[in-house]
Amino acid sequence: MEPHYLHLILALNACTMLPASWDKRFIRSLGVFVIDDSLSERQIEQLERMAFRYRKQLVWHMSAYDLQKVLEPYYERRRQEPTPEHIKNHWVKP
């Protein structure tokens, strides 16, 4: 596991989340991982989404460099995703 993901898991564990939320259960389940274990692609994607969701709280719990390193792939994927046609044409005047 890359060190910035380990820092992210520890920082997300310190964030305030809704009681009994899926996010909290997911982070606590990742907390039992040993450092040598690797994360799957889907787990990494979910961690990046959660880092974006809780980014204002994460500023207090991890360095800006680690947070930027985690969020860069998330921003890249969002830029590359095509916009669905029903959203593109929704506000176009005839």
Query: Which residue's structure tokens are 């994460």?
Result: 58
- Assign 62 to helix, strand or coil: coil
Rounded to whole angstroms, how far apart are CA atoms 51 and 49?
A: 5
pLDDT at 84: 64
Going from N- to C-terminal start, the domains of the chain cover: 3-86
Q: What is the pLDDT of residues 45-78, one digit of tens each?
A: 898 889 889 988 888 888 777 788 888 888 887 7
Task: Supply 85's token pair.
Answer: 């046609």
Rounded to whole angstroms, how far apart are CA atoms 43 and 92?
A: 37
**What is this structure's pTM?**
0.71
2 pLDDT above the threshold of 80: no
